[in-house]
Structure 1
Amino acid sequence: MTKADDDAGWRRPPAGTDSERAAQPAPAAPTRPPVEYSGPPPSNPPPANWRPPLVQRPVPPRQLPEQDHDRLDIEEQAARTLSQGIGMVAGAVLLVLMLILCARALF
């Protein structure tokens, strides 16, 4: 396949086709008879005893127990101390491992 074959779909049509198309008259649009709008169809009224469905109201939520803020503060402090202790131990282990690896690489 050559470059000319690839670009054939993108080329302009020959010059004679545009002038021939312009010389042809446009087809006439079909005429339709006017349509009159008679309004919406009549509706039937609902039955006399019709009511919308009733939805029961949910039970109000129960009261949550009171929080002991002093105990919560003590537990948060203990958790923070434990997390920091684990972080320091992990950091020390990583530092020792890095020193061992660097020592092996240098010596």
Structure 2
Amino acid sequence: MSDDSAWQRPGPGGELGPESAPPAVPPVGYSGPPPSDPPPADWRPPTYVQPPPPRQLAPQDVDKIEAQEKEARTLTYGVALVAAAVLVVLSCLLCSRVLF
């Protein structure tokens, strides 16, 4: 069967030639995955270096962590209050400029 046989015109009677016959229909349904062979027992490379055991984590001072979080929260609230005050002052200036 040539590459162009699918694009050829049918014969004079409208029948297809033996070269351009449609391909066979595959069976309906799923027949499952193809069979596979298990890998050989020694398929992994040998391991020569053993990693060291994990180290101990440093002890944590929970009271110190809580104090630092409280200081950070206070600083964050302070910065937010200053920013809000600046925005209020600016909006008052802009509104007074529009009104007067």
TM-score tier by shorter-chain length is 0.5 to 0.7
CA–CA distance in 2 between the matches of 1:104 and 1:78? 39
Q: CA deviation at 1:58?
A: 0.9
The equivalent of 1:36 in structure 2 is none
Larger Cα Rg: Structure 1 or Structure 2?
1
Seen in structure 2, the aligned counterparts of structure 1 residues 53 and 100 have a Cα distance that, compared at 3 Å, is: same
The equivalent of 1:42 in structure 2 is none
What letter matches 2:50 in structure 1?
R
**Greater RCO (Cα-Cα under 8 Å, separation 6 or more):** 2
1:73 aligns with 2:66: yes
The equivalent of 1:82 in structure 2 is 75
The equivalent of 1:35 in structure 2 is none
Give the number of equivalent residue pairs: 68
Q: Which runs of 4+ in 1 moved over 4 A?
A: none
Query: Where in structure 2 are the equivalents of 1:6-21 lying within 5 Å?
Result: none
Deviations 1:14-41 (A, max 9, x none): xxxxxx87832211149xxxxxxxxxxx
Q: CA deviation at 1:53?
A: 2.0
SS in 1 for 2:75: helix
The equivalent of 2:23 in structure 1 is none
1:99 aligns with 2:92: yes
The equivalent of 1:43 in structure 2 is none
Seen in structure 2, the aligned counterparts of structure 1 residues 57 and 22 have a Cα distance that, compared at 3 Å, is: farther
Q: CA deviation at 1:56?
A: 2.3
The equivalent of 2:15 in structure 1 is 25
CA–CA distance in 1 between the matches of 2:12 and 2:56? 83
RMSD of Structure 2 on Structure 1 (CA) = 2.5
